[in-house]
Homo-oligomer: A and B are copies of this chain.
Amino acid sequence: MTSSGDRKGAVGDGETVFAGKRCLVTGGLGFIGSNLALALNNLGAQVTVIDACAPHHGGSVHNLSEDGGEPDPNIAVITADIAEVSDPTVRRAAVGAEYIFNLAGEVSHVDSMTDPLAALNSNTTSHFAFLELLRNENTDVVVVYTSTRQVFGRPRYLPVDEDHPIAPVDVNAITKFATEQLHLLYNEVYGLRSTVIRATNIFGPRQRLREHAHGFLPTFVRQALQDEALVVFGDGLQERDCLYVDDVVDCLLLAASIEDAPGELFVIGNDEHLTLRAIAESIVDAAGSGRVEFGPWPADRDAIDIGSYFGDSSKAKRMLGWQPRTFFDEAIKHTISFYRARYAWYL
């Protein structure tokens, strides 16, 4: 188990690449963003995070605590929407960055269906404004954007690779697809070095567990920790390839480091495929609390369910040298311990 504290050396020559570099993480108080910001900090980077702290998105300064104490003082925090490009603080951070990990956005599929215009604003309009700023004032920057496997919709074949047809099944996916394509277009047309990562179900420390949790994984973790029923919708035989957040952070760092990555899009998933039922059982085992129950799909989720999904990471392995290193049973124990130790912040 790699905690962000002992990541040094985990990512090839990551320490050399990022040491002393000005790295900006948008959405950097959120789940993946905060884990990434801590990792960059440990690699010696000068880290700034921008986060709009939108309600229900899960962004919190507590996420920037390495050990459960105060947030790391070496990481600069700007509370703003990335769309506020005329805000001098946002502008300075964006224009001065050598690396931008662009993770800001809506994270809830269900919320995106309830309020499509809000999702469009968070996931697309903000990024259009932000990329315009970069196009005009910082084309030397390296950008990595995190998209979602939801852009594929119901898989036509498994595992899903980069050539799989696009059929977004929710507003979140529609709006994130527009933004990932804008990143690739700006790479092609304006030379902005952008790479897109389409990731799958991610879990681990620093994820929002409360109401409006994003997806079944944090919901299950919360239910187990609170000794409640983990309700598996349907027969629970749909397969998923859950990715531990440290593996995602590794991939983002590699994508920013590898010279051939800009202009490319990568699907990443885990080589380990588990049924939803097995995932729920594993979480209950790790927690020593909660129980697995089965129930029908709620109407608002049924419409966006996609069946089994797992990704083909061959391209990321080949071009980025990335490899998922974490098995679910092991990682979920670490995850449960993390939340038990910081119960008041996350539950």
Which of A18-26, A117-125, A233-241 lies at the interface with chain B? A117-125
Out of B120, B171, B178, B303, which one reaches A177, CB within 8 Å?
Answer: B178
Contacting pair A116 B171 (CB below 8 A): no
Taken residue by residue from 285 to 313, chain A's Cβ proximity to chain B (1 for < 8 Å, 0 otherwise) reads as 00000000000000000011000000000
Instruction: Report Cα–Cα, A181/B177, bound state, in Å.
Output: 10
A11 at the interface (CB under 8 A from B): no
Out of B125, B169, B174, B303, which one reaches A120, CB within 8 Å?
Answer: B125
Contacting pair B120 A124 (CB below 8 A): yes
Out of B113, B117, B181, which one reaches A189, CB within 8 Å?
Answer: B113
Out of B113, B168, B182, B304, which one reaches A181, CB within 8 Å?
Answer: B168
A185 at the interface (CB under 8 A from B): yes
Dominant secondary structure at the A interface:
helix
Taken residue by residue from 253 to 284, chain A's Cβ proximity to chain B (1 for < 8 Å, 0 otherwise) reads as 00000000000000000000000000000000
Report B-chain residues with C-beta under 8 Å of the C-beta of A174: 178, 181-182, 185
Among A113, A132, A169, A185, the most chain B Cβ lie within 10 Å of the Cβ of A185
Task: Report the copy number of this chain in the oligomer.
Answer: 2
Contacting pair A182 B171 (CB below 8 A): yes
Shortest Cβ distance from residue A152 to the other chain B in the assembled complex, whole angstroms = 11
Instruction: Report Cα–Cα, A163/B188, bound state, in Å.
Output: 24
Contacting pair A185 B165 (CB below 8 A): no
A175 at the interface (CB under 8 A from B): yes
Instruction: Give the number of chain A interface residues (Cβ < 8 Å).
Output: 28
Out of B116, B117, B178, which one reaches A175, CB within 8 Å?
Answer: B178
Instruction: Report Cα–Cα, A303/B186, bound state, in Å.
Output: 11
Out of B116, B129, B177, which one reaches A117, CB within 8 Å?
Answer: B129
Among A168, A175, A181, the most chain B Cβ lie within 10 Å of the Cβ of A181
A338 at the interface (CB under 8 A from B): no
Instruction: Report Cα–Cα, A124/B178, bound state, in Å.
Output: 10
Instruction: Report Cα–Cα, A163/B165, bound state, in Å.
Output: 7
Taken residue by residue from 158 to 177, chain A's Cβ proximity to chain B (1 for < 8 Å, 0 otherwise) reads as 00000101101111001101
Report B-chain residues with C-beta under 8 Å of the C-beta of A170: 185
Among all A-B residue pairs, the 8 with the closest Cβ atoms: A178-B178, A189-B303, A174-B181, A166-B166, A174-B178, A116-B128, A117-B128, A120-B128
Query: Would you list 29 pairs from A and B whose C-beta atoms are within 8 A, ordered by A residue?
Result: A116-B131, A116-B132, A116-B182, A117-B125, A117-B128, A117-B129, A117-B132, A120-B124, A120-B178, A124-B124, A124-B178, A125-B125, A165-B165, A165-B166, A168-B181, A169-B185, A170-B185, A171-B182, A171-B185, A174-B178, A174-B181, A174-B182, A175-B178, A177-B177, A177-B178, A177-B181, A178-B178, A188-B303, A189-B303
